[in-house]
């Protein structure tokens, strides 16, 4: 079993990484899922260089495994490289899990190889590194990471709002009184915050009006109400669903509770 985990598995792992790199050089890939594309877009450099790093890592695992099979001194280096690689891949794969609707199959293959090598080479060391892996996953789960989701799907009105914002309540009351339909997007969602920050909007509500490929953006309760008064739109309120998510935003209760006021985006809500 030791020979299998120290030599044979690293050889298969090296071939796996090498195959993906050759495919990438020929504009192909083992995996072309959303998760894979997302991982590529997040890199500060071309993804082929990450494959080169992976190949170098697989080479180190193979060489140290070959030497460590009979020499305990090199075996310690082998464990260090394997477990460092496992933690590195945990970050990459964990981020995909919480952000992307679809995982990268190639990355999952890399992770499976590393887990097998680590587990079969030393169950004791593997048990010792498990808390570190769990802490990385837990830390990622605590973060509000932007997700690869689409909220503005069909034509209509989308209101970025907060259940506790008085300006938002004013707009929602007006829309309901005039039988106006709008889809609500909570400012608590990191995507909504990033969108508002990108536009340099420091207050909510923000109204998005989608008509075909045109999107009109209106900021502020006075401007939004004035727009509907001048256009006399008659639509009905609905909930918004992300196209790549099963999460449904329930009707927000205007009383609201537990919403943390944002220092910038909701700076005027306490006035």
Which of 97, 121, 142 is the endpoint of a domain? 142
Which of 142, 159, 185 is the endpoint of a domain? 142
Query: Among 163, 212, 155, 164, which residue's Cα sits nearest to residue 182?
Result: 155
CA distances from 247 to 95, 155, 241, 256, 259 (A): 19, 20, 7, 20, 19
pLDDT at 130: 93
Residues 165, 259, single domain; the answer is: yes
- CA 109 – CA 107 distance, rounded (Å): 5
Residue 235: give its domain's CATH number: 3.40.30.10
Residues 138, 219, single domain; the answer is: no
Residues 95, 23, single domain; the answer is: yes
Domain enclosing residue 175, as ranges: 149-271
Helix axes 9-25, 105-121, angle to 10 degrees: 160
Q: Encode the chain (271 residues) as per-residue pLDDT tens digits.
A: 778 999 999 999 999 999 988 888 888 878 776 666 666 777 778 778 888 999 999 999 999 999 998 888 899 999 999 999 999 999 988 888 887 767 788 889 999 999 999 999 999 999 999 999 999 999 988 887 766 667 788 888 999 998 888 889 999 998 888 888 888 988 888 788 888 888 888 888 999 999 888 889 999 888 988 888 887 644 445 545 444 433 333 333 333 322 334 433 333 443 4
3 state DSSP class of 219: strand
Residues 115, 153, single domain; the answer is: no
Which of 94, 110, 142 is the endpoint of a domain? 142
How many structural domains is the chain composed of?
2
Phi, psi of 138 (to 5 degrees): -65, -40
Q: Which tokens hold the place of 244?
A: 């790549």
Residues 119, 153, single domain; the answer is: no
First to last CA, the chain: 69
Query: Among 81, 78, 82, 56, which residue's Cα sits nearest to residue 65?
Result: 78
Alpha-carbon torsion 212, 213, 216, 217, what sign?
A: positive
Residues 58, 174, single domain; the answer is: no
Residues 99, 196, single domain; the answer is: no
Residues 158, 53, single domain; the answer is: no
Residues 111, 159, single domain; the answer is: no
Residue with tokens 């997007």: 185
User: Which neighbouring-strand residues pair with 161?
Assistant: 186
The CA R_g of the chain, rounded to the nearest whole Å, is 25
Residues 155, 133, single domain; the answer is: no
Residues 175, 247, single domain; the answer is: yes
pLDDT at 24: 85
Alpha-carbon torsion 50, 51, 56, 60, what sign?
A: positive
Backbone torsion region of residue 179, taken as left when φ is above 0, otherwise alpha when ψ lies between -120 and 50, otherwise beta: left
Strand order in the sheet with 183-186: 214-219, 206-211, 156-161, 183-186, 238-239
Residues 74, 202, single domain; the answer is: no
Q: How does DSSP classify residue 270?
A: T
- CA 163 – CA 79 distance, rounded (Å): 51
- CA 108 – CA 15 distance, rounded (Å): 16
């Amino acid at each position: 079993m030791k020979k299998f985990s120290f030599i044979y598995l690293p050889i298969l792992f090296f071939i796996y990484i090498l195959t993906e790199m050759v495919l990438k050089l020929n504009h192909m890939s083992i995996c072309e899922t959303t998760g894979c594309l997302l991982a590529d877009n997040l890199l500060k450099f071309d993804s082929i260089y990450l494959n080169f790093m992976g190949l170098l890592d697989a080479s180190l695992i193979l060489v140290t495994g070959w030497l460590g099979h009979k020499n305990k001194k090199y075996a310690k280096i082998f464990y260090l490289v394997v477990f460092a690689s496992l933690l590195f891949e945990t970050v990459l794969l964990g981020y995909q899990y919480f952000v992307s609707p679809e995982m990268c199959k190639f990355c999952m293959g890399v992770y499976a190889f590393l887990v097998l090598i680590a587990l079969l080479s030393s169950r004791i060391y593997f048990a010792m590194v498990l808390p570190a892996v769990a802490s990385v996953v837990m830390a990622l789960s605590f973060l509000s990471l932007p997700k690869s989701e689409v909220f503005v799907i069909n034509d209509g009105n989308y209101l970025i709002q907060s259940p506790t914002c008085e300006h938002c309540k004013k707009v929602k009351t007006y829309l309901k009184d005039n039988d106006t339909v709008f889809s609500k997007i909570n400012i608590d969602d990191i995507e909504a915050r990033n969108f508002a920050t990108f536009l340099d909007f420091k207050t909510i509500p923000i109204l998005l009006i989608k008509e075909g490929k045109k999107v009109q953006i209106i900021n502020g309760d006075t401007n939004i109400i004035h727009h509907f008064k001048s256009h006399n739109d008659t639509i009905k309120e609905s909930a918004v669903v992300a196209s790549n998510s099963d999460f449904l935003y329930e009707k927000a209760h205007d009383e609201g509770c537990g919403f943390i006021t944002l220092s910038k985006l909701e700076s005027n809500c306490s006035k």
